[in-house]
Amino acid sequence: MTNNPDNVAALERYGIRFVERGPHVLPSDGHNERYLRTKANRSGRFQ
């Protein structure tokens, strides 16, 4: 499982095809909110 489109593209280059792609979204909590916010700001993918 991945939310990273670069990982999907890399696998497709090796002939692995996807029939479906869905996000895996988990709720944030008091332990990971800061980490998730930082990751979103740095990568731009999760906004």
Predicted confidence at residue 41, as pLDDT, reads 85
Q: Which domain, by its residues, includes 15?
A: 5-43
Give this prediction's pTM.
0.47
Predicted confidence at residue 23, as pLDDT, reads 73
Predicted confidence at residue 45, as pLDDT, reads 62
Torsion sign over Cα 22, 28, 32, 37: positive
Number of domains in the chain: 1
Query: Identity (one letter) of the amino acid at 16?
Result: I
| Four-CA torsion 9, 11, 17, 21, nearest 10 degrees | -60
Helical spans, DSSP H, in the chain: 5-13, 33-43
- Per-residue pLDDT of 4-26, as tens digits, reads 788 889 999 999 988 887 777 77
* Residue 6: both structure tokens together: 């670069």
